[in-house]
Amino acid sequence: MKLYITTTSGNAWKVRLLLSMLKQKFETVVLDTEKREHKTPEFLQLNPRGQVPVLEDGKQVFWDSTACLVYLARKYGGEQWLPTDAVGMAEVQQWLALSNNELHYGLQWARGVKIGIRSIGDYNEYATYGRNGLTVLEGRLKANEWLACGRPTIADLACYCYTSVSPEGGLPHDTFPGVAAWVKRVEALPGWVKRV
Amino acid sequence: MKLYITTTSGNAWKVRLLLSMLKQKFETVVLDTEKREHKTPEFLQLNPRGQVPVLEDGKQVFWDSTACLVYLARKYGGEQWLPTDAVGMAEVQQWLALSNNELHYGLQWARGVKIGIRSIGDYNEYATYGRNGLTVLEGRLKANEWLACGRPTIADLACYCYTSVSPEGGLPHDTFPGVAAWVKRVEALPGWVKRV
């Protein structure tokens, strides 16, 4: 397998985490965004959105971190990381959606403005939306170890990456003790890897 | 089953479409957002994000449109609307992600600013992002009838709703003929229902 990443992409980190936890061998292709390598005609053939991660597995190519997580979980993880019953799968999907919404457009965009990797947009708008996301996570994690199904799933990996670095965006976890404990719990999972 | 909606929610429309196409009976609860009925303590118990749709099926409660679609497809739709093999499921997930990203934060927020239901944010930023989404859809639909798996799936329903109304947001389909034809194809599916 081949995984296209950039050195700063939290979305690519989510997929690296699952590949490592599933003990899958893969080749990493690091794109240089300053050279616009994610916008070349060749890369846009792989992903018309011009973003990482992209996962190649033989002839199969998938873009979007949640789609990569779903593919790997189903192909190499049995029922453990993504169950196929209606209730379990929908539970996981709720948190994939939170990761695509409040955590990305809130936590990560607030961090982007704060650390200077995002040049447009309003910090307070993003921070408010991100804080909503932390509140929803806390509501679940104050009384549960994991987000879905009572065990680690791709829901945790999808939500973990941008949550773990949200303090860099001015959104610390001091008032979210359930979230803080869960971040440490994810980092103690066998196979956890740090960001690039 | 009970589905919580508002009269303006495109995300709730996605779930109404699938319930109708699956011929499932359900009760509709219409929340009045002017009275802040989506932010009452009782409703926040059902959905801590304070948004519609929410689906209740017996004791099960799901928030987020994509999670509701996944639940209904798995519980009442067999393999038809959401296959469980790794490739098919990941194909569907890619488009669920597009619906959560470019189509929601691009197409729908541009429309929100244009028609006055969104009071903050920059129209041009949203419109550019939404146009990216239409371009990605067109890339697929210019040579394919459906977004994933060669047949109608929840990917189509998730992407259809905000795409079909994007002309109201100043993003018409004139230069996206594949998208325009696909919108008509979705509207010809048995069980299609109009927005509230």
Q: What is the pLDDT of residues A84-107, one digit of tens each?
A: 999 999 999 999 999 999 999 999
pLDDT at A165: 97
Do residue A66 and residue A96 come from a single domain?
A: no
| Residue A71 domain-assigned (yes or no) | yes
Task: Identify the residue among A24, A93, A140, A179 best suited for mutation to test binding to B, counting B beta carbons within 10 A and taking the highest.
Answer: A93
Do residue A91 and residue A178 come from a single domain?
A: yes
pLDDT at B120: 83
Q: How many domains does chain B have?
A: 2
Compute the average pLDDT of residues B50-63: 97
| Residue B193 domain-assigned (yes or no) | no
Do residue A17 and residue A40 come from a single domain?
A: yes
Whether B64 sits inside 8 A of A93 (CB atoms) is: yes
Residue B163, domain CATH = 1.20.1050.10
pLDDT band at A120 (very low <50, low <70, confident <90, very high): confident
CB-CB neighbors (< 8 A) of B104 in chain A: 101
Whether B71 sits inside 8 A of A89 (CB atoms) is: yes
pLDDT at B196: 80
Compute the average pLDDT of residues B60-71: 98
Do residue B70 and residue B91 come from a single domain?
A: no
pLDDT band at B9 (very low <50, low <70, confident <90, very high): very high
Do residue A58 and residue A119 come from a single domain?
A: no
3-state helix, strand, coil in chain A (%, to 5): 55, 10, 35
pTM: 0.97
CB-CB neighbors (< 8 A) of B90 in chain A: 62, 67-68, 70-71, 74
**Nearest beta carbon to residue B97 from set A72, A100, A136:** A100
Minimum distance, in Å, between the CA of residue A152 and any CA atom of chain B: 18
pLDDT at B63: 97
- Interface A-B: count of C-beta contacts within 8 A: 103
Q: What is the pLDDT of residues A41-55, one digit of tens each?
A: 999 999 999 999 999
Minimum distance, in Å, between the CA of residue B149 and any CA atom of chain A: 13
Compute the average pLDDT of residues B41-58: 96
Mean confidence (pLDDT) of chain B:
96
Q: Which two tokens stand for residue A132?
A: 């909503």
pLDDT band at A121 (very low <50, low <70, confident <90, very high): confident
pLDDT at A61: 97
d(CA B75, CA B58): 13
Flag whether pLDDT at B121 surpasses 90: no
User: By residue range, what is the domain housing residue A45?
Assistant: 2-76
| Residue B173 domain-assigned (yes or no) | yes
| Residue A196 domain-assigned (yes or no) | no
Whether B74 sits inside 8 A of A84 (CB atoms) is: yes
pLDDT at A144: 98
Give me the phi and psi of B166, to 5 degrees please.
-65, -30
Do residue B69 and residue B91 come from a single domain?
A: no
Do residue B56 and residue B90 come from a single domain?
A: no
**Nearest beta carbon to residue A48 from set B70, B86, B136:** B136
CB-CB neighbors (< 8 A) of B126 in chain A: none
Do residue B128 and residue B164 come from a single domain?
A: yes
Of B48, B76, B104, the residue at which a domain comes to its end is B76
Burial A79-117 (b: 16+ CB within 10 A, else e): eebbbeebbbbbbbbbbbbbbbbbbbbbbbbbbbbbeee
| Residue B192 domain-assigned (yes or no) | no
Do residue B123 and residue B170 come from a single domain?
A: yes
| Residue B149 domain-assigned (yes or no) | yes
Residue A12, domain CATH = 3.40.30.10
CB within 8 Å of A53: residues ≥ 6 apart? A3, A4, A5, A9, A11, A12, A14, A15, A63, A64, A65, A68
Do residue B55 and residue B94 come from a single domain?
A: no
CB-CB neighbors (< 8 A) of A68 in chain B: 90
E strands in chain A: 2-5, 27-30, 54-57, 60-63
| Residue B170 domain-assigned (yes or no) | yes
Do residue B71 and residue B121 come from a single domain?
A: no
Minimum distance, in Å, between the CA of residue B94 and any CA atom of chain A: 5
Residues in chain B whose Cβ is within 8 Å of chain A: 48-49, 60, 62-68, 70-72, 74-75, 84-87, 89-91, 93-94, 96-98, 100-102, 104-105, 120-122, 125, 132, 135-136, 139
Do residue B91 and residue B177 come from a single domain?
A: yes
Whether B86 sits inside 8 A of A71 (CB atoms) is: yes
Residues in chain A whose Cβ is within 8 Å of chain B: 48-49, 60, 62-68, 70-72, 74-75, 84-87, 89-91, 93-94, 96-98, 100-102, 104-105, 120-122, 125, 132, 135-136, 139
Q: What is the pLDDT of residues B123-182, one digit of tens each?
A: 999 999 999 999 999 999 999 999 999 999 999 999 999 999 999 999 999 999 999 999
Residue B98 CA to chain centroid, in angstroms?
10
Q: What is the pLDDT of residues B76-119, one digit of tens each?
A: 999 999 999 999 999 999 999 999 999 999 999 999 999 998 88
Chain A, nearest residue to B98 by Cα: A64
**Nearest beta carbon to residue A89 from set B65, B74, B121:** B74
Of A47, A76, A105, the residue at which a domain comes to its end is A76
Of B76, B108, B136, the residue at which a domain comes to its end is B76
| Residue B38 domain-assigned (yes or no) | yes
Contact A138, A163 (CB under 8 A): no
